[in-house]
Structure 1
Amino acid sequence: MESNIKEFVNGIYSNIGKYSKSEKKIVDLIINDPDFVINATISQLANRSNISEASVSRFCKRAGLNGFHHLKVLLAQSSFINTDSQNNVSLDSEDKTLDKLMNDKKDEIQATLEGFDKAMMEKIIQVIKDARLIQIMAEGNTFPVALDACFKFNQIGRLAFTATSWEVAMGQTLNLTDSDLVIVISNSGESRQLIQLIEVAKKNNVTIIALTNNHSSPIATLSDFNVVTASRGTIFMSEYFFSRVSAVTAIEAIFMLMLADNPQLKKKIQKHELLIASKKI
């Protein structure tokens, strides 16, 4: 049941921006007034949202639920939806804005780490250990996460690389073999360019690990392993997602798990730090 709750809540946030007008009204109530939804009848929710009961039923079906009662049960058992996490912040209320930001970031980190499947993570660690080369794929504002991942993996002796240019990345992908690994980082899991890179990699039988916040996205579906990076809340505008913190958290967690698996890797980090120490004051 707990995994179903997490999938439901993560799905609510990861699909913000994709809902129809009717669905958006339901989601707004779920996020901003969950207590009402938990205690309301389907008729009361429909009336307050100014939509039909059929629209509510369709939303529940699209969310993979058995019905409106199933929605209320999951919502009641969820500890992830914060009734204070409303979208009515502004620059005129700086403290409130910063408090919301802090709470959303904390929720993202918690939900991402709690969503880790132990058996899958063990397999991911082994795949990274066995890989000859690791190509990290990302684009847009997620690309800094790819750079961070490259830095971390190279520090512990795993040869990793990335590219800001899609054309260069495609050239890299064409040279991968079944001994190599691709890690693709995408908030939506729907980037056409990243999908093309994955399709080329799969033709060479390359193992694919995805970090997305939508477990049913095209990139997640194409991948051998999908790590769900949770997003929580929106601020100022519905299109702004908190995506990078959860992705960085996932990379950091994988890195730390590899160190825990082999403490001797710390020596490689120390050697690297000594070599670059001269660049610091």
Structure 2
Amino acid sequence: MDIPRRIRDERSLTPTEQQIASVILSMGERLQEVSIKEFAHAASVSIASIHRFCKKIGLEGFKELKVEIARAAAVRAGQISDVDINFPFGPGEQPGRIVPQMRSLYATTVRDTCEVLDTAELVRAAQLIGGARRIGIYTQSHNLHPAQMFCDRLLSIGRDAFCHADVERQYRCALASDEHDVALFISYSGLAPDIDRKLALLAERRVPVIYIGTAAARRRHPGLACYLLVSDAEHLQERITQFASHISVQFVLDSLFSCVFAADYDRSAGFLKRALPYTRLSPEPDKGI
């Protein structure tokens, strides 16, 4: 496992260590250009804290951290051509340039998401959904489209699911839920409005929560039933739009649905088949009549 992923997956970080981790991941290869003193100043931490952080993730010190960051960057550069996740094209770019850049953005994002997505957590999430009486999907903004598509797919295989855009409906459904249900939360950064209040309400109702978001979001909301991590390369504000976060969330939802389907394949396929007479497109009318 490379160092960036090891840092993202480390769950026992103190608040100071979380700050160090965040700065390391945001700096990336630029870490090679700074001394430990400069890094300590940038992260607003002590040099001793940096040494303790390095030890916690299995390294001897800051020098080895820089070596491992450089090695990870070299491996990644050799796998897929470099692309700016936040600004994959510039002013006046033509389709001949934009299309390959978007292809690289998709490939890079899926690769990065696969690196942080824990298959054991994916199995756990599929089991929770498979055993739930009802699945509530909670999100907002641009994540609503993939969330509602996921909801429709669950309904298509006979799973009772809901995904409301209206905030009042979300709260009322949460209040009506209990330990026999499961909640799926989608928030890339973990900073969505009211997220703490909704999670607290679901905890009171003893509803297990599956969370889809970045490693930073997991640190912001510890103690949930299951975490499905996505690529965290996208900047929250300095970007053209949510290209990477949309791709990574959609990829995780597609993977999760596939796992739910495969875990009870005959039941899922059987429901699809039984629903066909009611859901298939009507045949075209005879034009001669």
Deviation at 1:93, TM superposition (A): 2.0
Q: Superposed, which structure 2 residues align to 1:20-169 within 5 Å?
A: 30=28, 34=29, 38=32, 40=33, 42=35, 52=38, 54-55=40-41, 58=44, 65=54, 68-78=62-72, 79-80=75-76, 84-86=82-84, 89-94=89-94, 95-169=96-170
More displaced 10-residue stretch of structure 1: 158-167 or 258-267: 258-267
- 1:58 and 1:83 map into 2 onto residues whose CA distance is 34
- 1:270 and 1:77 map into 2 onto residues whose CA distance is 50
Q: 1:101 to 1:233 in 2, by over 3 A?
A: farther
2:255 maps to 253
Deviation sequence 1:25-72 (CA, Å, 0-9, x none): x87763xxx3x755x5628xx9xxxxx45435658968x545532432
Q: 1:270 to 1:195 in 2, by over 3 A?
A: farther
2:172 maps to 171
Deviation at 1:8, TM superposition (A): 4.2
- 2:26 and 2:221 map into 1 onto residues whose CA distance is 26
Contact 2:113 2:231 survives alignment (8 Å): yes
> If the length of structure 2 is used for normalisation, what is the TM-score?
0.74
- 2:83 and 2:236 map into 1 onto residues whose CA distance is 9
- 1:267 and 1:110 map into 2 onto residues whose CA distance is 33
Q: Superposed, which structure 2 residues align to 1:167-246 within 5 Å?
A: 167-217=168-218, 220-233=221-234, 237-238=238-239, 240-241=241-242, 242-246=244-248
Q: The residue matched to 1:184 in structure 2 has which SS?
A: strand
Aligned residue identity for 1:247 = V
Deviation at 1:275, TM superposition (A): 2.3
Deviation sequence 1:196-237 (CA, Å, 0-9, x none): 212111101000000001345466425221110114356994
Aligned residue identity for 1:55 = H
- 1:136 and 1:100 map into 2 onto residues whose CA distance is 32
- 1:235 and 1:167 map into 2 onto residues whose CA distance is 26
Contact 1:6 1:111 survives alignment (8 Å): no
Q: 1:80 to 1:55 in 2, by over 3 A?
A: farther
Q: 1:216 to 1:3 in 2, by over 3 A?
A: farther
Q: 1:28 to 1:135 in 2, by over 3 A?
A: closer
- 2:270 and 2:218 map into 1 onto residues whose CA distance is 39
2:16 maps to none
Aligned residue identity for 2:198 = L
1:262 maps to 264
Q: Greater CA radius of gyration, 1 or 2?
A: 2
Q: The residue matched to 2:180 in structure 1 has which SS?
A: coil
1:276 maps to 279
Q: The residue matched to 2:281 in structure 1 has which SS?
A: helix
Q: The residue matched to 2:258 in structure 1 has which SS?
A: helix
- 2:234 and 2:224 map into 1 onto residues whose CA distance is 26
- 2:27 and 2:177 map into 1 onto residues whose CA distance is 47
1:6 maps to 5
Aligned residue identity for 2:93 = S
User: Which ranges of structure 2 fall in alignment gaps of 5 or more residues?
Assistant: 11-18, 56-60, 285-289
- 1:132 and 1:29 map into 2 onto residues whose CA distance is 44
Cα root mean square deviation, aligned:
3.5
- 1:111 and 1:120 map into 2 onto residues whose CA distance is 17
User: Which ranges of structure 1 fall in alignment gaps of 5 or more residues?
Assistant: 12-19, 47-51
